[in-house]
Every structure is written in structure tokens, then in C-alpha cells.
Structure 1
């Protein structure tokens, strides 16, 4: 079967790998002039690391295996700890935190991609795409994996369904030595000012991010020349290693949070969607890349029945999408200290299975 994939992000590249492994003819077209490596890093839960193994995408040598996910108060007191090794034992695959650029590089290995090819006009009923600058491509199946501003989804659904949630993320890496950089602990520190997250990403890097609510009059502090100063003022006095992170800030990346309702049917005729094109959600539950990989695994095995793929994925992906839309991790300081560690671990291990078609099928 000939499959045309629009978009060479995590969803598009992973899908292409799965289809190529299954013997299909795949063409990937990407608007960007080169591989899309923007963004910090992503946490891959056991379902995703299992899928990557199935896709023959080797993470060896990149990223950092995680053993705990911890929530602290603003003064550094532990609120609860999730033992991620429990999920690793249960599902026989680890949780790994990896730079997005490294994940894209691993997925792109051996996948044919045409860069600088923007989808200008899409005809879903014919699985046909006219590219900017001339040329038309068509296949037996067309998959829009071109992100939140998807041209393929626009042809299918019309207007962009995503809405701003009222939260934004500022993030980046620090290579300055900290107490967490060489450990295997993910830490979230929620408070009235927002949330600070810290996760080691391997190779001496620590991902940091600050989630803050929109400010009246300056909805997202975007293009604010004082953003570093603002973040330092807002999170001053927070526990180690936040002061060292704040000191190292330099031109952080900015991501407004979007969300939208996930419909039952994503496509039409020989055309469907994958990744953020189908289910944009805030990064709150670290599910964006994971759900993209779930799409790739499910669709590569159901390429002959697109509506079945959409129905199966909708039932599952709505769960993390709805939870992420509540921005639950950003407001957890109101209840986090009430959850015993053992209960938090059991609940999270079970929740990971409920958010994964792969784990629901094989575990």
C-alpha cells in the first residue's frame, strides 16, 4: 500500500517506520527545511518505550531512565513519590526521559523524508495533496501528522478546534551542575506562583520548565524582554536546585497550552490523522509524544481500516486529553500531600495502562 504522510514530527516518523517495517511504500513530506528538533525533552512511559522497541528505534545511549516521580512543596518538603520502577516491572519496559531532538533523530533513521514541502491544498477524498511550489502527491492512504496547525485536519474539520487553556510553559536545559542532573528522579514543585518541573535528560543536561497562568493585559508574557527577570522574581526562594536553574536561565522557549475535544471520527475516506493534528493537549501529563507513538503503533497495524483505528484510539486518547486539559499537575499543591506514596504508585501504574492502547492490548 502506498501511504503519504504529511509531517515529520514524532507521529509522522514513527508511523513511517512502522509502515516501512510492514512492507508498505511510504512517502513523508515536511514543511520545515530540516528535521524538526525544537522543544526540550519528553518523558516516554513504558508503553512508548515498548512501541519504540517494536519500531526498531534504538534509544541506547540517549536519554535517562527514571526511577521516581516526586512532588515537593514550595519549601522543599516531599508531598508524594511515585515509584516508576513498579510500572517498569509491571509492563517490562522502563520510563525514559530523552531530548526531543534525539528522539526525532532515532525515529528518522532510515525514513525517507522530503523537507521544505508545505501542504498547500488537500483533497481528503482522494488522499491527494498539492505542495507549495508545484507538484501533487497522492497515495492509497493519506495521514496528516502535521501538528496543531495541521493543513490536513483543516481540510477535514475546517477551523482549528484548539483553544488556549490559560497556562503557558517556559522551558529549557541547563548544563550547570545541580543535585538532580545525574539522578533518576523527576521532580515537580507546585505552588501558588505556578509549577517548576525538573527532569534529568542525560549527557549532563537537566530539563527545567516553569508553568504559569496567563497575566492580565499580557496574556502569555510573549516577547517580554524581561521574561528571565520575571521568572526569577516569581520563583525566588524555591528549594534547591531551583535557584541554580534560575541563575542559568537564558532565552527560554515559550509554549502556550492548547486543548480541544477529541471527536470519534478523525478522517474521511482514505485520509486520517495522527498526533497533535488529532488530539492537541497541554503538556501537563507528559502525554503528547506518548500518544503520538500510540497512534503510530495502532495505525501501522490498522492501515487498511482507518475508521477502526480512529475509534480504538479515541476511546483511549480522550482519557489523557481530558485530564491534561484540567492542568491537574499545576494545581496539585491543594491535594498532593494527602496521597500516600504506595497509593500514588498503584494509581499511576494503573493509569498508564488506561492511557495506552498498546498496554491495554499486550499487558
Structure 2
């Protein structure tokens, strides 16, 4: 079967890779003129690391295997700790934090991608796409994996359904050594002024991010040339290693959080969607890349039944999308510390299974 994939992000590359391994003819068309490796890093839960293994993506020596996920109060005292090794033992695969650049490069290896090929017009009934250079590509199946501003989705759904949630993330990598850089702990510190998150990403890098509330429709500090000073002021006095991270900031990337209701049907005829094109959600549950990999895994196996793929995925992906839309991690200080660590660990492992078609099928 010939499958045309629009978009060379995590969803598009993983899908094409899976299809090629399954013996299909897959081609990827990407608007950017080079691989889209910008961004911070992603946490890959056990279902995703299992899927990557099936895709013959070797994570050995890449990123950082995580053992705990912790929430601290403003003095640096633990509120709760989730033992991620419990999920690793239960599902047989680890949780790994990896730079997005490295994940994209691994997925792209051996996958045919046409860069600088912007999709301009889509004819869903014929699985046909006219590119900006005038060329037309057609497949037996067309998959829109072209992100939140998807051209393929626009041809199917019309207007962009996503709206702002009222939160914005500022993020980057700290390369100065800290007490956490070489550890295997993911840390979240919620407070009245926002949330700071810290996760080691391997190779001497520590991902930092600051989530702050924003007036809906207006990204917080988006046009402020003094954003680093703003972050230092807002999060001054937070526990170590936050002061060291703030001191080392030179610049910060930002993105506003978007969310929308996930419908049961994503496409029609020989066309479907994958990744953010189908289910944009805030990053608060670290599910964007994971759900993209879930899409790729199930769609590879359901390429002859697109509506069946959509029904099965929408039923599962709604769970993390709805929870992420509440921005629950950003307001966790309200309930953090009320649940014993052992119960929190069991609940989190169960939640990971419920958010994964792969784990639900395999276990």
C-alpha cells in the first residue's frame, strides 16, 4: 500500500518508519526545509519506549532513564514521589527523557522525507495533495501529521478547533552542572506564581521549564525583551537548584498551551490524522510525543481500517487530553502530599496503562 504522510514530526516519522518495516510504501512531505529538531526534550513512558523498540530505534546511551517523579514544596521538601521503576517492572520497559532533536534524528534514519514540500491543497476523496511548488502527490492513504496548524485537518474539519488554556511554558536546557543533572529524578515545584520543572536529559543537559498563567489569547511576556529578568524575578527564592538555573539563563523559548475536544472520527475516505493534528493538548502530562507514537503504532497495524483506528485511538487519547486540559500538574500544590507515595505509584502506573493502546493490548 502507498501511504503519503504530510509532516515530519514525531508522529509522521514514526508512522512512516513503521509502515516501511511492515512492507508498505511510505513517503513523508515536510514544509520545513530541514529536519524539525527545535524544541526541548520529551519524556517517553514505558509504552513509547516499547514502541520505539519495535520500530528498531535504539535508545542505548541516549537521554536519561528516569527512576522517580517528585513534587516539592517551595522549601524543597518532597510532597510526593512516584517510583517510575515500578511501572518499568510492570510493563517491561523504562521511562526515558530524551532531547527532541535526538528522537527526531533517530526516527528519521532511513525514512524518505521530502523537505521544503509545503502542502497547499488537499482533496480528501482522492488522497491527493497539491504542493506549493505545483507538484501533486497521491497515495492509497493520506495521513495528516502536520501539527496543530494542519493543512490536512483543515480540509477535513474546517477551522482550527484548538483554543488557549491560559498557561504558557518557557523552557530551555541548563548545561551548567547542578545537583540534578546526572541524576534520574524528574522534579516539579508548584507554587502560587507558577510551576518549575527540572528533568535531566543526558549529555550534561538539564531541561528546565517554567509554567505561568497567561491572559487567554495573549501569551505571557511574548514580546518582552526582558523575559529572562522577568523569570528570575518571578521565581526568585525557590529551592535549589532553581537559583542556579535562573542564574545561567541567557534566553528562553516559549509556547502557549492549546487544547481541544478530541472527536471520535478524525478523517473520511482514505484520509486520516495523527499526532497534534488530531489531538492537540497542553504539555502538562508529558503526553504529546507519547500519543503521537501511539498513533503511529496503531495506524501501522490498522492502515486498512482508518475509521477503526480513529475509534480505538480517540477512546484512549481522550483520557490524557482531558486531564492535560485541566493543567493539573500546574495546580497540584492544592492536593500534593495528600496521597501516600505507594498509592501514588500504583495509581500512576494504572494511569499510564489506561493512556496507552500499546499497553492495553500488551498487558
Q: Which category of TM-score, normalised to the shorter sequence, fits these structures?
A: over 0.9
Q: How does 1:20-169 map to 2 (within 5 A)?
A: 20-169=20-169
Q: Match for residue 239 of structure 1?
A: 239
Relative distance call for 1:146 and 1:350 in structure 2 (3 A) is same
Asked if 1:285 corresponds to 2:285, the answer is yes
Partner Cα separation in structure 1 for residue 244 and residue 31 of structure 2: 38
Partner Cα separation in structure 2 for residue 143 and residue 335 of structure 1: 41
Show structure 2 runs of 5+ residues with no match. Answer: none
Relative distance call for 1:105 and 1:80 in structure 2 (3 A) is same
CA contact (8 A) 1:354 1:360 kept: yes
Relative distance call for 1:253 and 1:110 in structure 2 (3 A) is same
Q: Match for residue 344 of structure 2?
A: 344
Q: Match for residue 256 of structure 1?
A: 256
CA contact (8 A) 1:215 1:221 kept: no
Partner Cα separation in structure 1 for residue 158 and residue 74 of structure 2: 44
Aligned-pair CA distance for 1:223: 2.0
Partner Cα separation in structure 2 for residue 331 and residue 4 of structure 1: 41
CA contact (8 A) 2:219 2:256 kept: no
Q: Number of matched residues?
A: 363
CA contact (8 A) 2:186 2:200 kept: yes
Asked if 1:319 corresponds to 2:319, the answer is yes
**TM-score where L is the length of structure 1:** 0.99
Q: Structure 1: which 4+ aligned runs deviate by more than 3 Å?
A: 215-219
Q: How does 1:297-312 map to 2 (within 5 A)?
A: 297-312=297-312
Aligned-pair CA distance for 1:222: 0.4
What is the Cα-based RMSD across aligned positions, in Å?
Answer: 0.9
CA contact (8 A) 2:164 2:217 kept: no
Q: Match for residue 272 of structure 2?
A: 272
Q: Which 10-residue stretch deviates more, 220-229 or 268-277?
A: 220-229
Offset from partner CA, 1:328-361 (integer Å, 9 cap, x none): 0000001101111001000000000000000000
